[in-house]
Amino acid sequence: MRDRYSALALARHAMTGAAWPRAWRSAEPKSTYDVVIIGGGGHGLATAYYLASRHGITNVAVLERNHIGSGNVGRNTTLVRSNYLLDGNTQFFEYSLKLWEGLSHELNYNVMLSQRGQVVLGHSPAQMDVLARKGNIMRLNGIDAELLDRGDVQRLLPYLDYSTQSRFPIHGGVLQRRAGTVRHDAVAWGYARAASALGVDIIENCEVTGFRREGDRVTGVATSRGPIAAGRTAISVAGHSSQVAALAGLRLPVESHLLQAFVSEPIKPFVNHVISFGAELFYISQSDKGGLVFGAHIDGFNSYTQRGQFQQVQTAAECAVALIPSISRLRLLRHWGGIQDMTPDGSPFICRTPLANLYFNGGWCYQGFKATPAAGWCLAHTVANDDEHPLVRHLGLDRFERGNGHDEYALGLWTYRQ
């Protein structure tokens, strides 16, 4: 039923004028599935695809309350990278980046991966030491990293502020050339299309309203479109993890916070890399349409509103001008907010839960988009085997009671509140 996308297919459709078929089937919910995945975001769709393609489990439903692509998979700043410090994170995100590198071919869908390179700037000798350590850790794990001095950065990014008045002088940076951006909508559509072709039912406008349980075993879900029995059920709804988990009687180490992103009016190609400011949580890249895309910090208090406060708009604009003074007259065109799970240690969860046959993926704190392929890969493994994938053994819900918080920035718990 589906056309394989290729130059030949494009030519054939152009010549004959034949309409392209729908990319994925609009499925009606059946009464029972082997696996039900709650949440049709990037992670949920990726999980369904890997369950079908790698574990041979095709009797799978993805339940989405809204429509595919309406949540955080379309609300991020599209960056992918693997420059992490802690054992566990380093390997997980590198695995994710390797999956990104093969994803367009894997899915027969162009996700427009652009490995334009990411530079993290250092603004003091001490910060350069930290970046050197980070780069060394990456290289010891077989990941590309290059330490840049001030001259290197100036040759690569000549438009930054190198003047003597600069509040945060640029001492250098660390470059990961394989990092870059991905077209985020294409990730949702590509996974949906590939999963659907393997027999997965993608069911939109279907909200989960409760869980069916027999003792401590989850046997299905109640939804706005009727009850569905499930052999195994996975929650992958980051932003609203607490609400869905509460339906199963679980409380999570998660608070929901708002993260904004911003796009300027479009300009000619100018910023050819992803640049992370070292003096504040701020980064910038340029989209294919020409808009400069800014990402910044969370708004600072728990919220589900999906719209931001003005203070972060101002902070992001100040960072942008501090970094690149020449864009001071550029106007912001749009800004939007996504709701994300924040966890005590800034690390996510991919794990079993205290209830049998119920699995949880969430708590992604800023980093959910770049994790999409690996999160789907590892959650599919966890669901199929009823055991955590080796890459995510350290990401269990019980890590705080065991004293094993996984704190990437080594600043202590709750740093997102400070």
Residues of the shown chain interacting with other proteins in the complex, contacts defined by CB under 8 A: 240, 242-243, 246, 251-256, 300-305, 309, 311, 344, 400-401, 417
Q: Give min distance, CB of 251 to other proteins, in A.
A: 4
Name the residue nearer to other proteins (CB basis): 200 or 397: 397
The contacts of residue 306 (CB under 8 Å, 6+ apart) are: 75, 258, 336, 337, 338, 339
Name the residue nearer to other proteins (CB basis): 18 or 246: 246
Name the residue nearer to other proteins (CB basis): 52 or 254: 254
What's 266's DSSP letter? E
Name the residue nearer to other proteins (CB basis): 124 or 305: 305
Residue 402 burial by CB count (10 A; 0-12/13-18/19+): exposed, middle or buried?
Answer: exposed
Q: Where are the alpha helices (DSSP H) in 75-183?
A: 89-107, 125-140, 150-156
Name the residue nearer to other proteins (CB basis): 118 or 347: 347
- DSSP reduced 3-state for 147: strand
Rounded CA gap, 395 and 405, in Å?
Answer: 9
Name the residue nearer to other proteins (CB basis): 123 or 399: 399
Q: Give min distance, CB of 133 to other proteins, in A.
A: 29
Name the residue nearer to other proteins (CB basis): 220 or 348: 348
Q: Give min distance, CB of 402 to other proteins, in A.
A: 10
- DSSP reduced 3-state for 8: helix
Q: Give min distance, CB of 106 to other proteins, in A.
A: 35
Which residue matches tokens 């069911």?
Answer: 203
Q: What angle do CA 279, 175, 157 make, to 5 degrees?
A: 70
Name the residue nearer to other proteins (CB basis): 10 or 246: 246
Residue 3 burial by CB count (10 A; 0-12/13-18/19+): exposed, middle or buried?
Answer: middle
Q: Are 324 and 159 in contact (CB under 8 A)?
A: yes
What's 74's DSSP letter? G
Q: Give min distance, CB of 413 to other proteins, in A.
A: 8
H or E segment at 241?
helix 241-247
Q: Are 347 and 408 in contact (CB under 8 A)?
A: yes
What's 412's DSSP letter? -
Rounded CA gap, 81 and 277, in Å?
Answer: 15
Q: Give min distance, CB of 341 to other proteins, in A.
A: 9
Q: Give min distance, CB of 304 to other proteins, in A.
A: 5
Q: Give min distance, CB of 339 to other proteins, in A.
A: 9
